[in-house]
Structure 1
Amino acid sequence: MKNFITTLLVLWIFSVSNAQQTSVIALKYEELEKRIVKEKDKFLVVNFWSTTCAPCVKELPDFMEVNKKYADDPRFKMILVSLDRLVDKERVIKFIKSKNITTEVLLLDDIKRMNTWIPKFEKSWDGNIPVTIFYKNGEKVYFNDGEMDKEKLKDIIVKYL
């Protein structure tokens, strides 16, 4: 009986640690900026994407695989920033569940001001997605405009982590 209870406890802990997100926080640019600053003690991977962007959806399994590899490293954090519309929030949640997204997903509800906040992230960013920005100690160390494969993602993490 003791082994059975121990097994159940281990399975429960494993399921909680790999749990999918069941809600998505919608935030404005300033709140996202504060979140990025808050994670300044980590190597932070911030991916901007949308459920309607084919290259974004294509790269997500690679991002999840890499995130799983580093998820237990306290120096690492990955955040997916959805640029879907706020009215599509439920679709984003369903997408997260169906695609087994296990990293934090935020919804940037600030599309009307995108010409203001996009250059604050990167002057050369033209607004297309996917885009991935890498931060170390709160400072941007790498900007990737376009789809990333698993090898390039891992190479950047290894270089800066």
Structure 2
Amino acid sequence: MKNLIKILAVFIFCTVFKAQQTEVSVIKYEDLEKRIQQEKDKLLVVNFWSTTCGPCVKELPHFMEVNAEFSGNQKFKMILVSLDRLADKERVLKFIKNKNLSAEVLLLDDIKRMNTWIPKFEKDWDGNIPVTLFYKNGVKVHFNDGEMSKTDLEKRIKENLQ
């Protein structure tokens, strides 16, 4: 009976949160920077990832669970910034569908200028992913280098939503 309830819960979760992107916006660094500043009234969680990054793929289900948990809060928003190549845009779209990504996904097509924009996000960022940045009212409040557990992600969000 417990297994049946779990299966039903997963089915309902997937059905309710099936609102997925059918297109991925391709942006440059400046566009992302503007986007972060536009979300001044929110806690914005920005995760940099790639479909070919094992730790990124591993942490994304936790991010989707947490995104679903806080999605009703008007003061919260999550954006997943893919660092896949522009040529791999279709793979990113398939990944969104296959992994049921419910947060907004953007494709950052600015690989040639990585050494310019990475330090603008965080001086201590060495370019490895996954990386998660937290902005409150347009100001960076936390930088997480590496994979985040669901518990750590929830804790950081709860601390900054107050």
Task: State if a TM-score over 0.5 links the two structures.
Answer: yes
Residue identity opposite 1:29 in structure 2:
Y
How many aligned positions are there?
Answer: 148
CA RMSD after TM alignment: 1.4
**Aligned twin of 1:37:** 37
Q: State whether structure 2 residue 55 is matched by structure 1 residue 55.
A: yes
Residue identity opposite 1:72 in structure 2:
G
Aligned equivalents of 1:19, 1:156: Cα separation in 2: 25
Identity %: 73
Aligned equivalents of 1:133, 1:153: Cα separation in 2: 11
Q: TM-score, normalised by structure 2?
A: 0.89
Residue identity opposite 2:66 in structure 1:
V
**Aligned twin of 1:141:** 141
Preserved contact between residue 51 and residue 84 of structure 2 (Cα < 8 Å): yes
- Unaligned ranges ≥5, structure 1: 1-14
Aligned equivalents of 2:17, 2:153: Cα separation in 1: 23
Preserved contact between residue 19 and residue 102 of structure 2 (Cα < 8 Å): yes
1:102-148 deviations in Å (ceiling 9; x for gaps): 11000000000000000000000000000000000110000000000
- Unaligned ranges ≥5, structure 2: 1-14
Q: Call closer, same or farther: CA 1:16–1:155 in 2, change over 3 Å.
A: closer
State the shift of 1:49 in Å: 0.1
State the shift of 1:61 in Å: 0.1
Q: TM-score, normalised by structure 1?
A: 0.89
- Corresponding residue SS for 2:48: strand
1:60-80 deviations in Å (ceiling 9; x for gaps): 000000000001110000000
For residues 1-161 of structure 1, the aligned pairs below 5 Å read 18-161=18-161
